[in-house]
Amino acid sequence: MTILVTGGAGYIGSHTVLELLNSNQQVLVLDNYSNSTRESLERVTKIAGRKIDVVRGDIRDASLLKSIFSSYSVSSVVHFAGLKSVGESVEKPLEYYDNNVVGTRVLLDVMNSFGLKKIVFSSSATVYGDPAEVPIREGFPTGATTNPYGTSKHFVERMLMDLCTADPKWHAISLRYFNPVGAHSSGLIGEDPNDIPNNLMPYVSQVAVGKLKELSVFGNDYSTHDGTGVRDYIHVVDLALGHLAALNKIESLSGFTAVNLGTGKGHSVLDMVQAFENITGKKIPYKIVSRRPGDIAICYADPSYAEKILAWKATRGLSDMIRDTWNWQSKNPNGYKG
Ligand code: NAD
Ligand code: WQD
């Protein structure tokens, strides 16, 4: 049986494909390379010592999906494919709703017609909006999102819930990621943003490698221990293993299940800068600028449900995250472009 991984050439997808291969699963990747290159999968093949079946194409292409499900015996789908830039989603909301919501609708429709009813979906802590308290538990209200990207994740979750209500044969696990960072310890695969990074860790590592001059810290007047935003950073390999845990349990979990994937620990922007400097010995010049619109003060998970229901918890700490980020960035200053 084969696991179809949509968006498997991307940052989290490539790390998950590697862990799936390491656990002897058959994997088929479907990716349109809109935010990735074939090189990530070449490197996954190199690390794993195993070939991967790859189809270049789009999740919105129903006839392509039909031909995939006709040719392969697919047992479950791990669904990463989608657009993920918060800022871009504000400028191009229809692209986000088309790719993320319509794309998932097409995928679910074709899966349904083939009687394939098991999906693990890449959701995000962003569905919680600005939570009333922390740590965030899965039962907290969702949907008060602050940008079209977050809303698209919320819509997909609603679609999955409604589908599971309509047809009890469906099994959908929505994994709500907190802040994925880090890279595989080989330094061969990692996060490769196309443009100037939006997210903190890729920005910091590009400052460290000399590609960017200084970090702008978005606000130091939040009610946190040092005034800067606090987040739950999770190592991408722990996150990848969370998908394997979800696949292990999916048969026994009927209907829709939402699970936080985080560590339960919050770190501020300045904590991250300090830790990066300590671990890498690189100086990170920074300046404090005004808050970034839409940002919240504090966001970290209660990860206990994941441990209970998936028998999974994150085991890699902040120093692993930073060491592996730097190992990837310093070995690949221009990402997969060499
Ligand atoms: P990524 O951009 O590196 O990977 C997404 C992959 O999907 C890319 O390889 C891209 O080419 C592909 N893709 C996009 N649209 C497609 C389409 N229509 N058809 C086929 N392939 C398509 O992003 P990532 O960081 O690996 O994130 C993976 C998933 O996890 C996304 O759904 C993202 O929204 C979600 N997520 C990411 C984060 C994060 O901080 N990275 C946090 C929470 C959730
Ligand atoms: C972390 C902290 C910033 C950059 C986003 C999405 C979320 C999810 C993960 C996909 C915040 C601060 C950042 C910089 C800074 N993605 N910061 N200077 O905003 O928690 O989450 O990525 O699902 O949906 O919203 O992550 O890494 O952008 O920011 O000061 O140049 O770092 O203000 O406090 P965020 P981030």
Instruction: Summarize pLDDT for 14-47 with one digit per residue, the tens.
Output: 999 999 999 999 999 999 999 999 999 999 999 9
279 Cα: distance to centroid of ligand 1 (angstroms)? 29
Ligand 1 contact, 84 CB (< 6 A): yes
86 Cα: distance to centroid of ligand 2 (angstroms)? 9
Tens of pLDDT, residue by residue over 83-114, are 999 999 999 999 999 999 999 999 999 999 99
Tens of pLDDT, residue by residue over 115-139, are 999 999 999 999 999 999 999 999 9
Pick the ligand that lies closest to the CA of residue 102: 1
Tens of pLDDT, residue by residue over 278-326, are 999 999 999 999 999 999 999 999 999 999 999 999 999 999 999 999 9
Tell me the CA end-to-end span of the chain in Å, nearest whole number.
Answer: 35
Residue pair 267/231 in contact by the 8 Å Cβ criterion: yes
Of 145, 128, 129, the closest CA to residue 90 belongs to 145
Name the DSSP class of 301.
Answer: B
Q: List, by residue number, the catalytic residues.
A: 149
Instruction: Please tell me the distance from the alpha carbon of residue 32 to that of residue 93, in angstroms, as a whole number.
Output: 20
Instruction: Please tell me the distance from the alpha carbon of residue 76 to that of residue 67, in angstroms, as a whole number.
Output: 16
Shortest-distance Cα residue to atom 26 of ligand 2: 199
Per-residue confidence at 338, pLDDT binned at 50, 70, 90? confident
- What is this structure's pTM? 0.99
Shortest-distance Cα residue to atom 1 of ligand 1: 10
Distances (CA, A) of 145 to 90, 128, 154, 279: 12, 7, 8, 35
Pick the ligand that lies closest to the CA of residue 180: 1
Ligand 1 contact, 60 CB (< 6 A): yes
Ligand 1 contact, 31 CB (< 6 A): yes
SS3 helix, strand, coil % of the chain, rounded to 5? 45, 20, 40
